[in-house]
Each structure stands twice: as C-alpha cells, then as structure tokens.
Amino acid sequence: MKIIVPVKRVVDANIKIRVKPDGSGVELANVKMAMNPFDEIAVEEALRLKEAGKATEIIVVSIGSATCAETIRTALAMGADRGILVKAEGRIEPLAVAKLLKAIVAKEEPGLVILGKQAIDDDSNQTGQMLAALLDWPQGTFASRVAVDGEHVEVTREVDGGLQTVRLALPAVVTTDLRLNEPRYASLPNIMKAKKKPLDETTSEALGVDATPRLEVVATREPSGRQAGIKVASAAELVAKLKTAGVL
C-alpha cells in the first residue's frame, strides 16, 4: 500500500508574524519557514506504518512556489521515498489543494492519504475533509491513534468531549492531531541521502485543475490588542481586585 502525505510550507510556528502596514496581507519576506507541524506528524505516522510493514512507499506532495521543494526534502530526509511538487503561485485555497491532491491520488492509487488537521497559517482545517469528499472516501480526522489492519484502518479521534474511535474501509483519508506521535529529526546522513531521492514537478494545468481562489481577501488587519494590566503582590490582593472588578 502506498501512502500519500501532503506537506505545506508555512511560517515557522515559533515566529510571531506581522501584518503589512497597508493591510494587504502578512509579511512573508525573509521570514523563517518550516513544514506545517501537523504535517511532520503525518510524515512520522506514515513512516511508522512503513516500518511496521503496513505500507510500501511514502510519497510527499507539496503545492506552492518552487521553495516548497525544501519542505519536500525535509520529509524525504525523515524517510519518505519520493516527492511531488505541484508548482503554483499565489493563494491556493483548501478546495483547490483538495482537487490537486485528488488528481494525484488518481495516478498513484494510494491506500491512505495522511494530512495535517490544520495548516497553522490559514487555520482552515478543511483540506483532508474536502479530499475525502471529492474521492468519496471515508475520513478519520484529528487522529491521536491510527491502526491499519488488512483492509481497514481504526482511527481514534480527538473530539470535543474526549475521544472517539471509528473504523474505516481503505482507501481512506486521515488527518493528524498533536498527540498522534512525536516526529523524528532527520539525521545528517539521511539529509544527504534525501538529495538523491526522486522529486517530480507538475502544475495545476498539467493536472487539469482550476486553482483560482473562490474567496477574495479584502483586507488583513492586526487583532485588537490587549494591554498588560497590573502586577499584584499577593493572592489576597488578587482576590480583592477580582471582587472589585465584579467577576467574583
């Protein structure tokens, strides 16, 4: 069974972004980029399935500018087998990403697609569910445990009230939550090896997908800020202040 893992290149989770003064978007020039953290978890899970003999090949896909090749190389250095870069400029919305992934799934015929539950830049939390819909596959989102047995996958999901477990017939779509695993670091020899692994390039035109955005971003602004308040000297003073403020 092949596994496809879509990986998105995003601003590093440790960076606090700034909104451009003219409100035209978020400042991305000279900002440190990294693989979306949920996608690292997805790559790790695919690697573990391969190591357990449940998968044969792991293909990572990234959609975006040429620099996304770096993100693919990171996944290859972790241990994925090959990469596909879908070159696209500008804003690519989850629906377009899902359509592009569907076209790749049609060619590669994987048994599983494992995505992150959410990209930490657009915070959409849509792509995996949309891909499952377009393929008419079952979905196991927000996974904290994934177990493949034969023709099925059992997915334990993090939900509002706790945990829920579903059993899906393969092929299926899974999206990762934070507690699924701890991604490995790529070792130096593996980083060197990754440079020789195959990385194909394609485009939305070649895949026959219209990736034009459906939503227009009218403006981007800073959130209304919060001022630091005061320091109190003791727990007793804190309680007194909260009583005065009327919340206790």
Ligand X SMILES: Nc1ncnc2c1ncn2[C@@H]1O[C@H](COP(=O)(O)O)[C@@H](O)[C@H]1O
Ligand Y SMILES: Cc1cc2nc3c(=O)[nH]c(=O)nc-3n(C[C@H](O)[C@H](O)[C@H](O)COP(=O)(O)OP(=O)(O)OC[C@H]3O[C@@H](n4cnc5c(N)ncnc54)[C@H](O)[C@@H]3O)c2cc1C
Q: Kindly tell me which residue out of 127, 156, 181, 202 binds ligand X, with binding defined by CB under 6 A.
A: 127
- Cα 95 from Cα 133, distance rounded (Å): 11
Residue with Cβ nearer ligand X (70 or 237):
70
- Cα 135 from Cα 127, distance rounded (Å): 12
Residue with Cβ nearer other proteins (188 or 236):
236
Q: Which of 194, 6, 184 shows the shortest CA–CA distance to 82?
A: 194
**What residues from 70 to 109 belong to the interface with ligand X (CB under 6 A)?**
92, 94, 97
- Cα 137 from Cα 143, distance rounded (Å): 16
CB contact at 8 A, 63 and 71 = no
- The DSSP H or E segment spanning 239 is helix 235-244
Residue with Cβ nearer other proteins (22 or 189):
22
Shortest Cβ 229–ligand X spacing (Å) = 34
Residue with Cβ nearer other proteins (22 or 160):
160
Q: Does 2 bind ligand X (CB under 6 A)?
A: no
Shortest Cβ 131–other proteins spacing (Å) = 8
- Cα 14 from Cα 67, distance rounded (Å): 20
- Cα 148 from Cα 174, distance rounded (Å): 11
Shortest Cβ 180–other proteins spacing (Å) = 11
- Cα 7 from Cα 35, distance rounded (Å): 7
Residue with Cβ nearer ligand Y (120 or 134):
120
Shortest Cβ 229–other proteins spacing (Å) = 4
Q: Kindly tell me which residue out of 38, 83, 112, 207 binds ligand X, with binding defined by CB under 6 A.
A: 38
How are beta strands 112-116 and 2-6 bridged, if at all?
parallel
Q: Which residues bind ligand X (CB under 6 A)?
A: 6-8, 36, 38-39, 61-64, 92, 94, 97, 115-116, 118-119, 122, 124-128
